[in-house]
Chain A
Amino acid sequence: MNFETVIGLEIHAELSTKTKIFCSCPTTFGAEPNAHTCPVCLGLPGTLPVLNEEVINLALKAGLALNCGINFINKFDRKNYFYPDLPKAYQISQFDLPICKNGYVDIEVDGIKKRVTLNRIHIEEDAGKLVHLEDEKISLVDYNRVGVPLVEIVSEPDMRSPMEAVEFLRTLRAILEYAGISDCKMEEGSLRCDANISTRILGDTQLNAKVEIKNMNSFKELQKALEKEEKRQRELYTYGEEYKIKQETRRWDSGKGRTVPMRSKEDAHDYRYFPDPDLLPIIIKQAQLDEIEKTLPELPDAKIKRFLNAFNLSKNEVEILVDDKALADYFEALVSEGCNPKSAANWVIGDLLKLLKEKEISSKHIPVNEHSLFKLMDLIEKGSISITAAKEVFEVMFTKMWEPEEVIKEKGLSQISSEDALGALIEEVIVENPASLNDYKSGKLQALGFMMGQIMKKSKGQANPKLVKEMLETKLKGL
């Protein structure tokens, strides 16, 4: 029997606004607990919500970037339930008239292109955070996150494998980041993902009971969780126990490496949605939409195509660059300085990215100015410095923010490329190593490597290796 996995994703992305959705509290991450609160987001009696205009702008941007239809009139509804992280005991969300409908994202998995369609995008407010103490019967509530604006993006159940789901999320994330809608950091919670997964016999068209999976905090966890759940469901089918797959919510437990059922909240499903009487409908004008369309930057798809056409880079290299907009921008800036695209890509994907990850610095705050890096690369081209030395120089430039000339001077890393100087060194080494010379003459080519090593040692690594090899070979052949 052949099975088919059916996956849909529900993504929440925090919008990059300066203030919360219904009050003017700041939204910056990492503040002291309850520092970003006010009577409105705390839901104190008598307070009322007023919508942040930037929320509409960013939500529309998301809709345009994701090819959605826009509901020119949309409204807010209350989703009523009790939980300590929800001060008003209702979440202001959008139920039957969301801001965007339909839409799609094109993805590519194993060379096969696929279109994942979206059902809707709606605006809602976030809830607070709970901290559960280990050794006491106490939980702590931090309301900083209450009222942070979110867009919820709901896909259709178009994905057929965990890989497709991950690729969809990756592509979506890049689009949202590019368009400046959200900084999409899963580790900070500004991008969250829940999955719905079900199984059916290949060829069937109906949708069977879907299991919702929560608590996946990275792309890796998303993949693992889906793979585990897919396996669990298929096993049940194999043993004829597919009736045991019921519509439920399961939590991904990364420690245990599997999904576990969550405590059922039977009454949690009666949210008693009704239009929020404290808010007026959102009315979008075509002119406003046109303005926002103008602010959309080149999106990842288009950039990938352009990079592939304009630069002689591999698909993999282009994808790595484009995956991070700031990195792609940096790369392009390097190229416009006059850099060879291949070298630029090597440096950016290699040394730069490595250091950024090591020092945990965001690509938005690259400490090396493109012009400085270009200067370094130019010095390599001219032979003034060896590649090995350059890597060392780069690291200093990165950590201390010095210019390349300063570092080279300070560390005495100039490369010796003068033929006279090199010629002299070669002479010395040949004279000092007669046995090697004989080895080479009798066909043992490793002797060349040995002598090169000696030359590099003598020059304290500053000899231009390419040139040395050329000159040494020429010299030895002539002897």
Chain B
Amino acid sequence: MSVTIEEVNYIAKLAKIKFSEEEVIKITSEFDSIFNHFKSIDSMDLKDVDLNVFDKDSKSVVRADTPVIFEDKKKLFQNAKAMRDTYIEVPKIIE
């Protein structure tokens, strides 16, 4: 199966990355050859492989319901580029 330019544009939208027209063409052809190569897994017989088989004897990994406060909020938000009081600021969102 070959990858189309429309598909690449759709995927770019999903991934929230913008490509120029040339870049899209390049990616489409790269993907085509890469996915062609992936055909090697098409031929494998995987009917009897069940991914939802889990070890019933193992235990869930959990933690206790005990509050722990991350005190240094200034440090926590030191990388934020735009803040208003203690809120993070972004361009207005219209819902």
Direct contact of A and B (CB under 8 A): yes
Complex contacts, A131 vs chain B, CB 8 Å: 87
A33-41, A221-229, A233-241, A414-422: which lies at the interface: A33-41
Q: Decide if A51 touches B70 in the complex (CB within 8 Å).
A: no
Q: Decide if B54 touches A283 in the complex (CB within 8 Å).
A: yes
Q: Decide if A56 touches B90 in the complex (CB within 8 Å).
A: no
Complex Cα–Cα for A18 and B67 (A): 7
* Interface residues in B77-95 (C-beta closer than 8 Å to A): 77, 84-95
Q: Decide if the interface of chain B is mainly helix, strand, loop or mixed.
A: loop
Q: Which of A33, A138, A282 contacts B91 (CB 8 A)?
A: A138
CB distance from B76 to the nearest CB of A (A): 6
Whether, in the assembled complex, B14 has its beta carbon less than 8 Å from a beta carbon of chain A, the answer is: yes
Instruction: From known contacts A33-B85, A39-B70, A267-B13, infer whether A84 and B90 are also in contact, taking CB-CB under 8 Å.
Output: yes
B19-27, B32-40, B41-49, B57-65: which lies at the interface: B57-65
Q: Most chain-A Cβ atoms within 10 A of its Cβ — which of B59, B70, B76, B84?
A: B70
Whether, in the assembled complex, A342 has its beta carbon less than 8 Å from a beta carbon of chain B, the answer is: no
Whether, in the assembled complex, B1 has its beta carbon less than 8 Å from a beta carbon of chain A, the answer is: no
Complex contacts, B61 vs chain A, CB 8 Å: 50-51, 279-280
Complex contacts, A133 vs chain B, CB 8 Å: 92
Q: Decide if B62 touches A53 in the complex (CB within 8 Å).
A: yes
Give the number of residue pairs across the A-B interface with Cβ within 8 Å: 117
Complex contacts, A84 vs chain B, CB 8 Å: 88, 90, 93
Complex Cα–Cα for A37 and B70 (A): 7
CB distance from B19 to the nearest CB of A (A): 16
Q: Decide if A34 touches B91 in the complex (CB within 8 Å).
A: no
CB distance from A381 to the nearest CB of B (A): 47
Q: Which of B56, B60, B88, B93 contacts A34 (CB 8 A)?
A: B88
CB distance from B16 to the nearest CB of A (A): 6
Instruction: From known contacts A26-B69, A84-B93, infer whether A51 and B63 are also in contact, taking CB-CB under 8 Å.
Output: yes
Complex contacts, B93 vs chain A, CB 8 Å: 84, 130, 132, 139
Whether, in the assembled complex, A19 has its beta carbon less than 8 Å from a beta carbon of chain B, the answer is: yes
Whether, in the assembled complex, A73 has its beta carbon less than 8 Å from a beta carbon of chain B, the answer is: yes
Q: Decide if B87 touches A25 in the complex (CB within 8 Å).
A: no
Complex Cα–Cα for A139 and B67 (A): 29
Whether, in the assembled complex, B18 has its beta carbon less than 8 Å from a beta carbon of chain A, the answer is: no
Complex Cα–Cα for A279 and B63 (A): 13
Complex contacts, A142 vs chain B, CB 8 Å: 87
* Interface residues in A260-285 (C-beta closer than 8 Å to B): 262-263, 267, 270, 272, 279-283
Q: Which of A37, A130, A251 contacts B76 (CB 8 A)?
A: A37
26 contacts between A and B (CB under 8 A): A18-B66, A19-B68, A25-B70, A33-B87, A35-B73, A37-B76, A38-B76, A42-B76, A52-B63, A53-B60, A53-B62, A82-B16, A84-B90, A84-B93, A132-B93, A133-B92, A137-B91, A139-B89, A139-B91, A139-B92, A141-B89, A262-B95, A263-B94, A280-B58, A280-B61, A283-B59
Query: Which 7 interchain pairs have the tightest Cβ spacing?
Result: A140-B87, A38-B70, A53-B62, A24-B68, A54-B65, A26-B67, A141-B88
New A-B contacts (13) at CB < 8 Å, excluding given A24-B63, A24-B66, A132-B95: A25-B68, A25-B69, A26-B67, A34-B73, A35-B86, A37-B70, A38-B68, A39-B76, A51-B61, A52-B65, A54-B65, A56-B62, A140-B90
